[in-house]
Amino acid sequence: MALPACAVQAFEPPRQPERGAPARTTCPRQHSRVEAELAASRPGSVAASVRAGPPRGVSHGFHSRPLLDKPRKASSSLAGAACAPLFALLSRGRRRRMHVLRRRWDLGSLCRVLLTRGLAALGHSLKHVLGAIFSKIFGPLASVGNMDEKSNKLLLALVMLFLFAVIVLQYVCPGTECQLLRLQAFSSPVPDPYRSEDESSARFVPRYNFTRGDLLRKVDFDIKGDDLIVFLHIQKTGGTTFGRHLVRNIQLEQPCECRVGQKKCTCHRPGKRETWLFSRFSTGWSCGLHADWTELTSCVPSVVDGKRDARLRPSRNFHYITILRDPVSRYLSEWRHVQRGATWKASLHVCDGRPPTSEELPSCYTGDDWSGCPLKEFMDCPYNLANNRQVRMLSDLTLVGCYNLSVMPEKQRNKVLLESAKSNLKHMAFFGLTEFQRKTQYLFEKTFNMNFISPFTQYNTTRASSVEINEEIQKRIEGLNFLDMELYSYAKDLFLQRYQFMRQKEHQEARRKRQEQRKFLKGRLLQTHFQSQGQGQSQNPNQNQSQNPNPNANQNLTQNLTQNLMQNLMQNLTQSLSQKENRESLKQNSGKEQNDNTSNGTNDYIGSVEKWR
C-alpha cells in the first residue's frame, strides 16, 4: 500500500534551513521550536498537524498533553494532515502569537484549578470547624439516628440563610446610617418637633410687651377669591428655600405646576387662570430684583390689576410675608456671595416714582463686579447696601426722603427707619426666622391654614458659618449693622411670643375638646342607666304588685333612694367640673355661696338628665 506524499515527506531526513531562516542557536529548546516552525511551514508535514493546536481563543486545559517537537505516528499524522495546509498559511509571527496565547490560557487554567482547590479546602475546614461547634452545642441530640447527615444539612441551611441576610442587608442598607438598625427609635419617646432649634435654653423670657392682637395672627386667606400673598425676599436670609417650599411643598387643591429646567411655576387659583402668590418662583422679579417694601407696596397692585380699569379692580387683601436672619451671619453670607461675582445690578431701588441718582447711591466698585474683594474692603465702603439691609428693605423710605441723605440728620433718619421697619414687620401677615425653620413652618400653617407636605430642615452649617472671624471683626460687623441687630432682637422676641401663644392656644383647645367628650360620655352613661331601669320596671309590673302588698310605699322608697343616689352623683360631678373651671371664683366666694352654686348646678344637670329620659 503506497503512502501519501505528506507521509513520505515526514520520514525523510531533515532538510537544510532555507535562505533567510534563523541560524541554529545554542539553546536546544529554542532550536527545537525553530525546527518545528520550519517543519510546520512545509505543507503536508506531520509537524504541521501536531503544531496546529486548538483554534484562537481555545485551550487544551490544565491536563492537556504537552506540545511535541518529534513527529507523531503515521496514523495520527494521517488524521491531522487535512488541517496542516490551513495552519501553514499563517505567517510566522501569527503562529508565534498563537503559541504564546495558548501558554497563557494554560496559566489561567492553572490559576482556576488552584483557586477551586483552595476554596474547596477552605470550605472543608470551615465545615469541620462549624461541625465541631455544632456538636458541642447540640451534643445531647447526637444520639438520634442519622444525626450526622441532618446536622450537615441544617448547618448548610444556616450558613446559606446568613449569607442571604448579609446580601439583603447590603441592598437595603448600603450606607453606614441605616434606618432599620436604629432600634432605639422604637423604644425612645418621640421628641418634640418644635424644640429649641438654636441649641439655647428651652425657657424663653420675653423682653417686649405685645397685645393679644399682635400675637394672634390668623389670616382668613381665601385662595379661591381675590386675596394675594406677597413674598418680600431679602438677600441671603434663606428666602430661596422658603420660596421653593411655597410652590413645591404645600398642599393645595390645585398645586403649582413646575416644569423641569424652569425656575418659575404656575400657581393658579382653583378654577381660575389667576395667581394667588406673588414671588420670585411664581411671577418672577416683576417689581425689580429683590424689591423692598417701598417698591412692592406701590408696584404690586399695578402689576396684578394693571390691565383693568381702576373702578373694576377687585378689593384685594395683600398679605405680605418675609424671612429674617441673624445680621452677622447674613452680612458674612452676602460678602461671600459678592466674592463669587454677585452684583444685583438689576435692582431698581425705585422710591417715590424714580430710582436714585449716582450721587445719592454711589457704587463701591469700578469694574463689572466686586469678585474677590476682601472682607476689610467690603466693610470699608460707606455706600455698601449690605449695611442694615433688613431695616432698609422693611421700612417706608418715603418717610426719610428715599436715598437723599441731606433731608434730615442721620440720627433722626435711623430712628425713623427703625420704627417704620418694626411697625411694618409687626403688622405683616407672617414673618419667619432662618434660625427657626420648624417654628417658621408651624406659624405659617397656623396663620394661613395651609399645610406643607414635608417638614422644613434646619441647616446649621452654611457658608457664613465656615468664615472664621475674631471678636474685633464681629464687633465691627455688629456696629455696621446696629439697626439690623435691634430689629432682629425685636423680631425674635415677637416671633417666639407668637409661637408660645399659638401653642398654648392649641393646648387649651385640645383640653376643651377632651372635657366636652368627658361630659358627653357621662351623659350617655346616665341615659343608658335610666333607660335600663325604666325597661325593667315596665316589663314586670304584675310581679312587683304580687310580691309587694303595698306598691305605693315601695315605689316611694325606690324613688327616694334613686333621688339620693342621683344627688350624690351629681354633686360629685359638678364639684369636680366646677373646681377645674372656676377655681378662682370658688376661692373668693363663701361656703354658703358655694353650696348654692353647687345645688343650682346640680338641679340644672338633673333637669338635663330628665330631658334625656
238-259 pLDDT, tens digit per residue, is 999 999 999 999 999 999 999 9
Which residues are CB-neighbours of 62 under 8 A, at least 6 positions away?
106, 109, 110, 112, 113
Please check the confidence at residue 192 and state whether its pLDDT lies above 80.
no
In this predicted structure, what is the pLDDT of residue 51? Answer: 46
Output 449 or 557, whichever has higher pLDDT: 449
Higher-pLDDT residue of 110, 330: 330
Of 39, 36, 40, 46, nearest in space to 81 by CA: 46
Identify the sign of the CA torsion 422, 331, 500, 216.
Answer: positive
What is the predicted pLDDT for the residue at 427? 96
Q: Which carries the bigger pLDDT value, residue 450 or residue 195? A: 450
Among residues 245, 290, 319, 349, the one annotated as catalytic is 290
pLDDT value for 97: 72
d(CA 471, CA 542): 98
415-442 average pLDDT score? 96
Cell of 107: 496559566
Backbone angles phi, psi at 271, to 5 degrees: 80, 5
Q: Indicate whether 79 pLDDT > 50.
A: no
Please report the pLDDT score of residue 208 as a whole number. Answer: 93
pTM, 2 dp: 0.58
Calculate mean pLDDT across residues 295-300: 95
Average pLDDT over every residue of 368-396? 95
> Is 290 considered catalytic here?
yes
**Per-residue pLDDT band at 188 (split at 50, 70, 90):** very low
Question: Is it the case that residue 458 has pLDDT exceeding 90?
Answer: no
Is residue 254 classed as helix, strand or coil in its secondary structure? coil
pLDDT tens-digit map of 497-509: 999 999 999 999 9
Lowest mean pLDDT among 268-282, 310-324, 446-460: 310-324
Q: Which three cell numbers stand for residue 23?
A: 541560524
Q: What is the mean pLDDT of the chain?
A: 75
Nearest to 444 by CA among 511, 498, 497, 507: 498
CA-to-CA distance for 299 and 297, rounded, in angstroms?
Answer: 6
Tens of pLDDT, residue by residue over 602-612, are: 444 444 434 44
Decide if pLDDT at 28 tops 50: no
In angstroms, the CA 425 to CA 394 distance is: 7
Q: 482 pairs with which residues across the strands?
A: none
Residues 6+ apart with CB under 8 A from 270: 223, 224, 253, 254
Instruction: Report which listed range, 164-178, 293-307, 347-361, 572-586, is most confident.
Output: 347-361
Torsion 112-113-114-115 (CA) sign: positive
The residue assigned the cell 418715603 is 398
